[in-house]
């Protein structure tokens, strides 16, 4: 029986961090052994490649210097010819010609030889690079989408990732935990992981979010005017003044940004609602003024707790510091809040909030709506959560090893502390939903979140409206076909733009109002619909990788080509094959 994680900060520092480092290193070395890559031969090839690269760089610099010298000599020759032509009779032109012609001829030959040598070195360098890529090809073929999940589950067996986000997982969150799964038309799923944490479903997602903000546009106008002034001699003279008039206007502007968050379903405290955001109090030390600020926040909570007016149910916790730092004062159910945040949970949550060495400290928003918890850790916005196999492709084994270990250890730390606020609550690890027992009965088709992520993986350019000049929000709707594939309609929403000019009256130094032109863009909604074919690959190779068998490959090819899609252009991503259908 695997122990639950009740002390996430200490257990990460004492066990999980080192365990994941070792697991990641061992996993990579197993891949190297499976691939049969000769590390010594690859190191020798890469060393030769770097030597050739250095030699080619030196040859290129030398060639450039010779070409510069030739330019100088040609310029000197032209100057000499011009000087002789203007100061002497034309027969004297033979003198600079006789001097400079051999030099230019010799330089041309040197440059030609230098260029040929450079070409040979570049050709040899590219051949050596191709040799290195060839040596690493068996290892590069072993990198797969599921490595992140395998390593995570090996280190923390309580966490299990799904091959992809399925309809079954979505229905579980809807039917058992009351989550709709609808984020709205202003959000598109860029990437998503799903799985279970202690038997309860979770989602790790990154979205592209749109909102209509505003932008300030600036314009200017040059004006001038004259006036009569007396000079130092007392005489009238005309003086010209110049001035630049500036103006600005503000107009709606489409904004886009990424959000990364974790959704977690748990039946504990089913009536409880609360929200909290990162608190500056968590970063305070134990100095005099910092203690004053904390005490001031605690006194406000105590005063609020004494307010017993109608509809006011807030009661401050005995652990005043936890209540001040966690700051979930909008909670609606004091009994269930205390069931969730036991003294142990309060203690561990405080450690997470105040930590500045092991994890990321108080950088997360936490919202609970009945049985759905949403945690948005700020640090995960900068974490690459995709784990695309091609990211790890390399022609140098030593470099591939460093990057592989660094990537997976960074992902583990980021995700672990993303879910750490959930791990700090013991009650969440005691509740196991009914669906965990019957998890094999759930539907296996990929859900619409996964379809949006697939569409975004193909790229917005595949789906956007021809007139779109902004990012596109991709939304999907699917229909399951008789052959098991899913026909997905992708709707891309973006904006076209039309240039406009506003004229703003600005008073100049001449005492008159001038109309300053300010150019700006007016944005209009544009939509475009395209089609995509999606089909899940159900089998796995002997080593667990997402490679289709020969029979499955033939079936997939037939399905895609019947729909007019080039199967060679299809993408295999996380056990799902997809292609954009011709319009």
The token duo for 111 is 């440059």
d(Cα 340, Cα 352) in Å, to the nearest integer?
16
- Is 78 contained in some domain? yes
Compute how many other C-beta atoms are within 10 angstroms of the C-beta atom of residue 116.
12
The answer to whether the Cα torsion of 480, 483, 484, 488 is positive or negative is negative
Q: Residues 470, 507: contact at Cβ < 8 Å?
A: no
- Is 59 contained in some domain? yes
Q: What is the pLDDT of residue 90?
A: 74
Task: State how far the alpha carbon of 243 is from the alpha carbons of 149, 229, 518, 529, in Å.
Answer: 65, 18, 17, 51
- Is 479 contained in some domain? no
Q: What is the pLDDT of residue 287?
A: 65
Q: What is the pLDDT of residue 231?
A: 82
Residue 446 DSSP symbol: B
d(Cα 291, Cα 29) in Å, to the nearest integer?
51
Q: What is the pLDDT of residue 429?
A: 86
Q: What is the pLDDT of residue 551?
A: 79
Q: What is the pLDDT of residue 538?
A: 66
Number of domains in the chain: 1
Q: What is the pLDDT of residue 435?
A: 57
- Is 471 contained in some domain? no
Secondary structure of 126-193 in HEC code, one letter for each residue: HHHHHHHHHHHHHHHCCCCCCHHHHHHHHHCCCEEECCCCEHHHHHHHHHHHCCCCCCCCCEEEEEEE
- Is 286 contained in some domain? no
The token duo for 124 is 């040899």
The answer to whether the Cα torsion of 331, 337, 340, 343 is positive or negative is positive
Residue 3 DSSP symbol: P
Q: What is the pLDDT of residue 543?
A: 45
- Is 50 contained in some domain? yes
Residue 419 DSSP symbol: H
Residue the block writes with tokens 């190297």: 32
- Is 84 contained in some domain? yes
Pick from 80, 78, 77, 76: nearest CA to 88 = 80
Give percent above pLDDT 90 in the chain.
Answer: 62
* Domain of residue 104, residue span: 39-140
Pick from 374, 351, 377, 359: nearest CA to 282 = 351
Can you name the residues that pair with 193 across neighbouring β-strands? 204
The token duo for 553 is 């490959």
- Is 89 contained in some domain? yes
Contacts of 270 (CB under 8 A, 6+ apart): 336, 370, 371
Per-residue model confidence as pLDDT tens digits over 475-494: 999 998 888 889 999 999 99
Q: In which residue ranges of the chain is pLDDT below 70? A: 1-3, 284-291, 294-295, 297, 302, 304-312, 433-442, 538-549
């Amino acid at each position: 029986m695997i122990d639950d994680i009740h002390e996430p900060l200490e257990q990460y520092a004492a066990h999980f961090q080192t365990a994941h480092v070792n697991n990641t290193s061992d996993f990579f070395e197993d891949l190297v052994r499976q691939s049969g890559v000769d590390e010594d031969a690859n190191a020798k090839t890469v060393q030769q490649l770097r030597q050739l690269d250095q030699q080619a760089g030196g040859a290129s610099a030398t060639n450039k210097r010779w070409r510069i010298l030739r330019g100088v000599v040609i310029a000197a020759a032209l100057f000499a010819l011009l000087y002789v032509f203007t100061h002497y009779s034309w027969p004297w032109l033979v003198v600079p010609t006789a001097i400079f012609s051999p030099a230019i001829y010799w330089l041309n030959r040197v440059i030609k030889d230098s260029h040929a040598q450079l070409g040979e070195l570049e050709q040899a360098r590219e051949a050596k690079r191709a040799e290195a890529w060839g040596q690493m090809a068996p290892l590069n073929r072993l990198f797969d989408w599921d490595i992140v999940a395998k390593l995570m589950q090996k280190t923390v067996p309580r966490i299990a990732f799904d091959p992809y986000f399925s309809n079954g997982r979505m229905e579980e969150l809807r039917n058992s935990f009351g989550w709709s799964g609808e984020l709205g038309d202003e959000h598109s799923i860029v990437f998503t992981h799903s799985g279970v944490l202690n038997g309860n479903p979770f989602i790790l997602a990154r979205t592209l979010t749109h909102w209509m903000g505003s932008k300030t546009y600036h314009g200017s106008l040059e004006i001038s005017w004259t006036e009569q002034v007396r000079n130092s001699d007392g005489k009238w003279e005309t003086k010209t003044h110049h001035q630049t008039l500036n103006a600005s206007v503000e107009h709606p502007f489409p904004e886009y940004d990424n959000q990364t968050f974790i959704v977690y379903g748990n039946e504990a405290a089913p009536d409880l609602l609360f929200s909290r955001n990162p608190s500056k109090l968590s970063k305070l030390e134990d100095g005099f003024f910092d203690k004053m600020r904390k005490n001031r926040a605690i006194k406000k909570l105590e005063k609020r707790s004494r307010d017993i007016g109608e509809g006011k149910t807030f009661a401050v916790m005995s652990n005043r510091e936890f209540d001040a730092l966690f700051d979930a004062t909008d909670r609606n159910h004091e009994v269930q809040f205390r069931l969730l945040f036991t003294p142990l949970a309060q203690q561990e949550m405080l450690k997470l909030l105040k930590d500045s060495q092991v994890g990321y400290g108080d950088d997360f928003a936490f919202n609970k709506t009945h049985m759905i918890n949403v945690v948005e850790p700020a640090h995960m916005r900068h974490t690459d959560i995709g784990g695309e196999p091609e990211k790890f492709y390399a022609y140098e084994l030593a470099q591939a090893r460093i990057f592989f270990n660094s990537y997976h250890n960074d992902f583990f730390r980021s995700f672990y502390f993303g879910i750490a606020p959930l791990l700090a609550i013991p009650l969440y690890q005691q509740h196991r939903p009914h669906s965990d027992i019957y998890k094999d009965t759930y539907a296996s088709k990929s859900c619409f979140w996964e379809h949006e992520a697939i569409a975004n993986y193909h790229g917005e350019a595949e789906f956007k409206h021809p007139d779109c000049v902004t990012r596109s929000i991709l939304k999907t709707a699917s229909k399951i076909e008789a052959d098991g594939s899913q026909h997905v309609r992708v709707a891309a929403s973006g904006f076209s733009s039309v240039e406009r000019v506003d004229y703003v009256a600005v008073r100049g130094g001449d005492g008159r109002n001038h109309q300053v032109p300010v150019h700006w863009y007016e944005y209009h909604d544009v939509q475009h619909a395209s089609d995509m074919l999606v089909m899940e690959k159900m089998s796995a190779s002997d080593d667990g990788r997402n490679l289709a068998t020969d029979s499955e490959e033939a079936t997939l090819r037939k399905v895609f080509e019947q729909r007019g899609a080039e199967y060679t252009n299809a993408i295999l991503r996380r056990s799902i094959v997809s292609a954009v259908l011709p319009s």
